[in-house]
Amino acid sequence: MHPLEHLPDWPRVTSAVPADPAVEERVGAVLAQLTLEEKIGQMLQPELAELTPEDVTAYKLGSALNGAGIWPGGARHADPSDWVKTTDAYWEAAEAAYADRPFRIPFMWATDAVHGHNNVFGATIFPHNIGLGAARDPELLRRIGAATAREITATGMDWTFAPTVTTPRDRRWGRYYEGWSEEAEVVRAYAGEMVHGLQGGAEGLRTDRHVVSCVKHWVADGGTADGGDRGTCRSPEDLVRNIHAAGYFSGLEAGAQSVMVSFSSWDDPANYDHSPGTGEPYNLKVHGSRYLITDVLKERMGFDGIVISDWDAHAEVSDCSIGDAGYVINAGVDVLMVAGRDAWRSVIERALAGVRSGVIPESRIDDAVRRVLRVKMRAGLWEKPRPRDRSTARETGVLGCAEHRALSREAARKSVVLLKNTGGVLPLDPGGRVLVTGSGADDIQKQTGGWTLTWQGNDVDLADLPGATTVAGAVRGITGDARCTVDPFPERIEPERHDVALVVIGEDSYAEMRGTIKPWRSIGYADLKRSYARDLETLRRLREAGMRVVTVMLTGRPLYTTEEINLSDAFAVAWLPGTEGAGITDVLFGGPDGAPRYDFRGRLPASWPRSRTASAANRIPPHIPGYRVPPEEQAPEGEHEPLFPYGFGLSLDEPDPNRHPLPLDTARDDTPPPPATGPLPVLGGGSGTGPGYGFRIGGHNTWSRVDISFEEPTECLVVRSEPGTAEDGGPALSLRFKGYPAFVYAQRPGPQSDPLDLRGHAAADGCLAFRVRVTERPSQPLYLACHDDYPAQPGLDLTERLSGLPEGSWAELSVPLSRLAELGMDLRHVDVPFMLYTEGTAEIAVADVRWTAGEAP
């Protein structure tokens, strides 16, 4: 990696796909003939689940996408021919839209192929970016991009929302693994190579073996404070440019034709837009920042491609709503990704009205549509036939082909970072007897992570990923079944039966939002979930039994694991390696002669934490010559000092510097509070809610939490809430769940939302109790919980209890707090004392919600 130079200002970028006068002339000729309605149609990108071919014809829409977990006909295992038939139908619908016009505008299909063509059954799944960052191999990225593009085109698609070029700086962020490294030098070195692979340069882009790429998310999404999802980056512009924009410089130089805007905000005076005539700060959301989108990206940097919004992100911007994106359009967004059918139709209507009233200048619309037409022409879409007639549509066998699977295995192998190797335990003897244990031993979800066939990737199995191999499966392939015992949580340790224990630990699969760790929570692996704590207990038992232990960690981010490392003879981090478990065993096991088959090449793409609270990257100093760290960016001395620094990683022939136990973090005070002496009211008691609590709605398509009113009905996509009165005259909420993933919860607003330690209520034999009236029984499991991490953390299924109650009558429901603790709910840090969530339909009313401090029933 070449060191970066400090950039004192935003640079002008020279793209590998240059302006072409002939293309500009053709674009101008088409644009001049478009009606306003046709122009707006090119600016909308609905999702497959909320769109029909007839819609494309009627509204003359320019593009569509399939979101994570959306497949043709809802079929998870739809094959390539099903995808081609789907994309072909929409292509034909766009042709029909212009059948009576003297020109045509081809349709463009987009997808989120972020680690391979990951939304399509049978496609090759590559390691997530964090692992590729460890490989330190830019040329590998180009090959992965090219392979991914071939598989995308085989399904009739034209555009991928990749690569993600974020520079993640806080390990608590749920999207951390989408970045290659915490250091800008890796991000800049990789971004251009990935774009080259996907697009193939100016010439390759016109062929049907490459796709339009998208660098995202503009800008500084990896710098959000406390790792908050869709949070605020509070860094000065110099740091945003030199750390967080590094991937855009090389990605746009390589010719990336689209940029997706970030959900996040940027809290810096230069980012403020101003209300007309007031000069006052108006909007901090990047989607609403004319400065960042138009002034910086388009004008200073010279980007002439498409700026696209993220999923429904316009709805989070001031002066916008789910059905009105006018402010975002004026800020410079060219294409609007809008999911819901009612929403995208409303966005069209409001945009038309905005232009006609003068609120949106038609020149801004022309700029957006000119960019869309320009990219479509550069991609050769006027010359390419319908999807079913393209050469790649006849090459459906390319999905998951042997060549691409071998590339994925190579990438996984090069990504593994060896942190410890004492006593020459590695490489392992292929003829030895191996106990494969730990929660990740035979768990494909832990290997593939989020954005794998579904959004969170937590509901897939080996049947969904044909040819995939877990670590346990890979070990069996080396040792044979007779010498390999697989038991994730062994009740008995029998060292005489095994030569070595291979312990595979790791995070459960997650994606954005649900993978974020709350600011007040430990980043200690064993502290995060009960199953992770069982992994630590397994390591302790193996050590007590005197076994040789090799630990492999599957994770999307560095976590505090010092005790786990101390308990291991060897410790390696494999990140999220994808479907090729053999890429891990390639470096763990030797050949028949005992010599290594492959050495460890991976080096840490991010520093490894020394403590449970070291959540941020070690920021002193950033690796940028000439950059002066501003006071607000400086961490207290030693706060983020790493256990292993960025770039650390052992090879098999290197002496291990960690022969002595590493220092444990002993600073945590876990003294429980005394038993509670009174109840904690959450809803009821004569007023709307308990002390400081409000109620909110969240869910899959409700990115911004919706506050529930106790004065009038609250309506949103996933839930309808209506205030009412309970039997005792106290307040009640009637809740109608509409069949989408949804949760309703109580939380104190603002700074008061810091969690409470409520173990004292459990110590007092308390329970979580409430009154409930069932009007419509749940169609799917309905869970009770005391956190807001749906569904990453556990819940108690109330479906059977609710279904057994008489409809229309109030009844008391209570759950011992000890039961919630047994399920793994963390009563030490309760920010949400009451939550109900379901993915089905139900109608219930709740009242008198409280935590008791008495005898639990």
pLDDT at position 846 is 97
CA-nearest of 84, 81, 110 to 211 is 110
Residue 416: CB atoms within 10 A of its CB come to 27
Q: Is pLDDT above 70 for 395? A: yes
**Mean pLDDT for the stretch of residues 518-547:** 93
Of 340, 365, 395, the one marking the end of a domain is 395
pLDDT at position 284 is 82
pLDDT at position 728 is 86
Instruction: DSSP for 770-791, please give it.
Output: EEEEEEE--SS-EEEESSS-TT
Q: Are residue 447 and residue 387 in the same domain, yes or no?
A: no
Strand pairing partners for 330?
Answer: none
As a three-state string, the secondary structure of 92-149 is HHHHHHCCCCCCCCCCEEEECCCCECCCCCCCCECCCHHHHHHHCCHHHHHHHHHHHH
Binned at pLDDT 50, 70 and 90, residue 21 comes out as: very high
Q: Which residue range forms the structural domain that includes residue 514?
A: 416-644
Q: Are 508 and 555 in contact (CB under 8 A)?
A: no
Beta-carbon contacts of residue 336 (< 8 Å; ≥ 6 apart): 43, 44, 45, 308, 309, 314, 325, 328, 329, 344, 347
Q: Is the peptide bond before 219 cis (omega within 30 degrees of 0)?
A: yes
Q: Is pLDDT above 60 for 751? A: no
Binned at pLDDT 50, 70 and 90, residue 278 comes out as: very low
* CA dihedral sign, ordered 546, 552, 554, 560: positive
Q: Are residue 709 and residue 816 in the same domain, yes or no?
A: yes
- The reply to whether 571 falls in a domain is yes
Q: Are 509 and 449 in contact (CB under 8 A)?
A: yes
- The reply to whether 654 falls in a domain is no
Q: Are residue 420 and residue 531 in the same domain, yes or no?
A: yes
pLDDT at position 279 is 44
Whose tokens are 């005792």? That residue is 728
Q: Are residue 259 and residue 341 in the same domain, yes or no?
A: yes
CA-nearest of 440, 442, 436 to 498 is 436
More confident call, 424 vs 399: 399
Binned at pLDDT 50, 70 and 90, residue 670 comes out as: confident
pLDDT at position 465 is 98
pTM metric for this prediction = 0.92
The torsion defined by the Cα of 161, 298, 30 and 16, in degrees rounded to 10, comes to -70
Q: Is pLDDT above 70 for 620? A: no
Domain count, the chain: 3
Average pLDDT over the chain, rounded to whole? 91
CA distances to 5, 157, 392, 425 from 388, in Å:
47, 11, 9, 54
- The reply to whether 188 falls in a domain is yes
- Give me 450's structure tokens: 């989020």
pLDDT in tens, 594-612: 899 999 999 999 999 999 9
**Mean pLDDT for the stretch of residues 489-518:** 94
CA distances to 157, 689, 708, 721, 746 from 692, in Å:
50, 7, 14, 19, 10
> Would you name the residues annotated as active-site residues?
310, 512
Which of 335-344, 450-459, 704-713 comes out lowest in average pLDDT? 704-713
Helix (H) or strand (E) holding 486: strand 484-486
Cα–Cα distance for residue pair 199/252, rounded to 1 Å: 12
**Mean pLDDT for the stretch of residues 32-41:** 98
pLDDT in tens, 137-181: 999 999 999 999 999 999 999 999 999 999 999 999 999 999 999
Cα–Cα distance for residue pair 562/548, rounded to 1 Å: 18
- The reply to whether 74 falls in a domain is yes
Which of 326-330, 429-433, 625-629 comes out lowest in average pLDDT? 625-629
- The reply to whether 631 falls in a domain is yes
Residue 756: CB atoms within 10 A of its CB come to 18
Instruction: Give φ, ψ of 151 to 5 degrees.
Output: -75, -35
Q: Using CB atoms within 10 Å of the CB of residue 321, give its burial: 0 to 12 exposed, 13 to 18 middle, 19+ buried.
A: middle
pLDDT at position 281 is 45
- The reply to whether 405 falls in a domain is no
Q: Are residue 741 and residue 631 in the same domain, yes or no?
A: no
Q: Are residue 422 and residue 382 in the same domain, yes or no?
A: no
pLDDT at position 2 is 58
CATH number for position 817: 2.60.120.430
For residue 512, give the DSSP letter: T
* Percent of the chain's residues with pLDDT above 90: 78
Q: Is pLDDT above 80 for 441? A: yes
Q: Are residue 124 and residue 254 in the same domain, yes or no?
A: yes
pLDDT at position 423 is 83
Of 644, 668, 690, the one marking the end of a domain is 644
Q: Are residue 348 and residue 466 in the same domain, yes or no?
A: no
Instruction: DSSP for 383-434, please give it.
Output: TS--GGGSGGGG-GGGTT-HHHHHHHHHHHHHH-EEEEE-TT--SBPTTS-E
First to last CA, the chain: 63
**Mean pLDDT for the stretch of residues 731-739:** 95
CATH number for position 361: 3.20.20.300
**Helices vs. strands in the chain: H and E counts, helices first:** 24, 31
Q: Are 266 and 292 in contact (CB under 8 A)?
A: yes
Q: Is pLDDT above 60 for 416? A: yes
Task: Report H helices in 217-361.
Answer: 237-239, 246-253, 290, 326-331, 341-357
pLDDT in tens, 645-655: 999 999 999 87
- Give me 145's structure tokens: 């991009």
CA-nearest of 557, 524, 526 to 539 is 526
Residue 25: CB atoms within 10 A of its CB come to 9
Angle at 716 between CA 311 and CA 702, to 5 degrees: 30
- The reply to whether 408 falls in a domain is no
Q: Are residue 506 and residue 620 in the same domain, yes or no?
A: yes
Helix 362-378 vs helix 21-31: angle between axes, to the nearest 10 degrees?
130
pLDDT at position 491 is 92
Q: Is pLDDT above 60 for 629? A: no
Q: Are residue 688 and residue 601 in the same domain, yes or no?
A: no
pLDDT at position 689 is 59
Cα–Cα distance for residue pair 837/795, rounded to 1 Å: 9
**Mean pLDDT for the stretch of residues 728-755:** 85
Q: Is pLDDT above 50 for 362? A: yes
pLDDT in tens, 41-89: 999 999 999 999 999 999 999 999 998 899 999 999 999 999 999 999 9
- The reply to whether 658 falls in a domain is no
**Mean pLDDT for the stretch of residues 761-771:** 94
Q: Are residue 371 and residue 441 in the same domain, yes or no?
A: no
* CA dihedral sign, ordered 173, 792, 576, 216: negative
- Give me 82's structure tokens: 């099903």
Instruction: Give φ, ψ of 388 to 5 degrees.
Output: -70, -15
Q: Is pLDDT above 80 for 393? A: yes
Q: Are residue 638 and residue 749 in the same domain, yes or no?
A: no
**Mean pLDDT for the stretch of residues 86-107:** 97
Helix (H) or strand (E) holding 505: strand 500-506
